[in-house]
């Protein structure tokens, strides 16, 4: 018996993650993956969670395993409010099932079909996926190494019914580029957004992963009523917990909460209690510096390998001050997507940069992650990538 299923129009806007598809390639034996945005499992505090698990079950097991408030576990919301660098009311904190859910809730509440929304160039692929089912018109704002170019922002906001609903931005160690917005650019962006009456959605999953000094004050701290702030426990504790949070102005919070209730009732209450238990004695202040030290070491290994292996290849890359990613630009005329099979044949994988652009993609770009590979694997992987680039450069051009 066959059944003809009729899909909603929005289903056509849903596409598989390029990154997830590439990660399947990394299952090949011997592959060195510089592709995935996964935290290093070496950073997962297993002992701390084992103790927290036992404590939660002993002290509050029945409540931990029961349905719970959609807003989130109150002590965890209070802990989130305390750890943020501005005055936050816990009543404005919503615990989400990963910060990815926060993006989904924002899309549902703020976007209609055809709504204009603004993003950096390039931007986080997962955000583009979260926004896509609402069928918005996504407009890229010019960006450089310092972040969003404020002058271009003013030209992209639109007017009347075509006015942008918000600008989505990652100021700290951005995914995919690893860049960090400068203090001057942050101040200018917040001032310009306020003048334009343009809401900001600030995504900050990597902000605690700085190497030498913390990034400048968040955008939301400068104008809390004009921003929604997204954070995550995935990068500082463990992604398998699926816990994130958002901080929203009082005027928009109830609608985000209603969207949350409709989506999943609440995020896992047991996981929330475990995180609150782990955090209660200042654990993050001791734990996160160990992550920073590991990632800085691995970033330095990748920078050294790039300098050594890419000599003479006209390949460009940046030097991120934190986070998990490094951004590479290939020589003129070369496509990262075309290069990928050649690299995989040499047992190294990366993410082509084109997937991170809402429009006018730079096909020469690619993203490298330095956090899950060892220094030895990084050296081997970058050498293989350089060999693939040399082979591609030497290949004769194919006639159109």
Residue 29 — pLDDT band, cuts 50, 70, 90?
confident
pLDDT, averaged across the chain: 95
List, in sequence order, every residue forming a beta bridge with 366; answer none if it has no partner: 328, 352
Q: Which residue has the higher pLDDT, 8 or 296?
A: 296
Residue 13 — pLDDT band, cuts 50, 70, 90?
confident
List, in sequence order, every residue forming a beta bridge with 256; answer none if it has no partner: none
User: Is pLDDT above 90 for 263?
Assistant: yes
Tokens (6 digits) for 392: 């591609």
pLDDT at position 54 is 98
How far is Cα 172 from Cα 320, in angstroms, rounded to an integer? 10
How far is Cα 262 from Cα 284, in angstroms, rounded to an integer? 32
Within 8 A by CB and 6+ apart from 396, the residues are none
Classify burial at 200, counting beta carbons within 10 Å of its beta carbon; exposed 0-12, middle 13-18, buried 19 or more.
buried
Residue 19 — pLDDT band, cuts 50, 70, 90?
low
Report whether 356 contacts 391 (CB < 8 A). no
Name the helix (H) or strand (E) containing 308.
helix 283-309
DSSP string, 70-96: TT--HHHHHHHHHHSSS---GGGEEEE
Residue 37 — pLDDT band, cuts 50, 70, 90?
confident
Phi and psi angles of residue 305, each rounded to the nearest 5 degrees, phi first: -65, -40
Q: What is the pLDDT of residues 141-200, one digit of tens each?
A: 999 999 999 999 999 999 999 999 999 999 999 999 999 999 999 999 999 999 999 999
Within 8 A by CB and 6+ apart from 285, the residues are none
Q: Report the pLDDT averaged over residues 311-337.
A: 97
Q: Report the pLDDT averaged over residues 279-305.
A: 97
Q: Tell me whether strands 93-96 and 244-247 are parallel, antiparallel or unpaired.
A: antiparallel
Q: What is the pLDDT of residues 196-218, one digit of tens each?
A: 999 999 999 999 999 999 999 99
Q: Report the pLDDT averaged over residues 261-270.
A: 97
How far is Cα 77 from Cα 141, in angstroms, rounded to an integer? 33
The Cα-based distances of 395 to 333, 344, 352, 380, 382 in angstroms read 12, 17, 20, 23, 20
Residue 20 — pLDDT band, cuts 50, 70, 90?
low
Q: Which residues of 69-86 are buried (b: 16+ CB within 10 A; e: fewer)?
A: ebbbbbbbbbbbbeebee
Tokens (6 digits) for 109: 């509440």
Q: Which residue has the higher pLDDT, 235 or 9?
A: 235
pLDDT at position 26 is 65
Q: What is the pLDDT of residues 369-389, one digit of tens each?
A: 999 999 999 999 999 999 999
Q: Report the pLDDT averaged over residues 313-317.
A: 97
pLDDT at position 397 is 58
pLDDT at position 400 is 41
Closest CA to 310 of 334, 293, 294: 334
Closest CA to 169 of 221, 230, 252, 96: 230
User: Is pLDDT above 90 for 390?
Assistant: yes
- Helix intervals (H) in 1-124: 18-25, 46-64, 74-83, 98-110
User: Is pLDDT above 90 for 10?
Assistant: no
Closest CA to 157 of 136, 139, 131: 139
Percentage of the residues of the chain whose pLDDT score is greater than 70: 96
């Amino acid at each position: 018996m066959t059944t003809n299923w009729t899909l909603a129009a929005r289903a056509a806007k849903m596409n598989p993650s390029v990154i997830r598809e590439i990660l399947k390639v990394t299952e090949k034996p011997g592959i060195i993956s510089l592709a995935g945005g996964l935290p290093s499992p070496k950073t997962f505090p297993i002992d701390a969670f084992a103790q927290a698990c036992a404590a939660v079950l002993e002290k509050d097991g029945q409540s931990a395993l029961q349905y719970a408030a959609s807003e989130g576990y109150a002590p965890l919301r209070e802990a989130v409010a305390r750890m943020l660098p501005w005055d936050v009311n816990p009543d404005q904190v919503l615990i989400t099932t990963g910060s990815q859910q926060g993006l989904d809730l924002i899309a549902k509440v703020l976007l209609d079909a055809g709504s204009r929304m603004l993003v950096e160039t390039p931007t986080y692929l997962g955000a583009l996926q979260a926004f896509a089912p609402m069928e918005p018109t996504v407009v890229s704002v010019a960006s450089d190494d310092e972040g969003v170019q404020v002058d271009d922002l003013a030209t992209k906001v639109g007017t009347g019914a075509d006015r942008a609903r918000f600008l989505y931005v990652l100021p700290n160690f951005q995914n995919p580029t690893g860049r960090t917005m400068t203090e001057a650019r942050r101040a200018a962006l917040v001032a310009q957004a306020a003048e334009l009456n343009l809401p900001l959605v600030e995504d900050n999953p990597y902000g605690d992963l700085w190497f030498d000094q913390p990034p400048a004050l968040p955008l939301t701290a400068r104008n809390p009523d004009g921003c929604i702030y997204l954070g995550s426990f995935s990068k500082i504790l463990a992604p398998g917990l699926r816990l994130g949070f958002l901080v929203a102005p009082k005027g928009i919070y109830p609608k985000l909460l209603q969207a949350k209730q409709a989506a999943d009732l609440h995020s896992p209450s047991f996981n929330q209690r475990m995180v609150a238990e782990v955090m209660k004695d200042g654990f993050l202040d001791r734990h996160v510096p160990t992550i920073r030290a590991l990632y800085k070491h691995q970033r330095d290994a990748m920078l050294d390998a790039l300098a050594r292996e890419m000599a003479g290849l006209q390949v460009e890359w940046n030097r991120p001050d934190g986070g998990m990613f490094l951004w590479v630009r290939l020589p003129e005329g070369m496509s990262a997507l075309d290069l990928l099979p050649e690299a995989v044949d040499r047992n190294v994988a990366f993410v082509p940069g084109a997937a991170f652009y809402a429009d006018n993609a730079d096909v020469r770009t690619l993203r490298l992650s330095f956090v899950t590979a060892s220094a030895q694997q990084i050296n081997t992987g970058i050498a293989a990538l350089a060999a693939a680039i040399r082979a591609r450069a030497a290949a004769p051009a194919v006639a159109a």
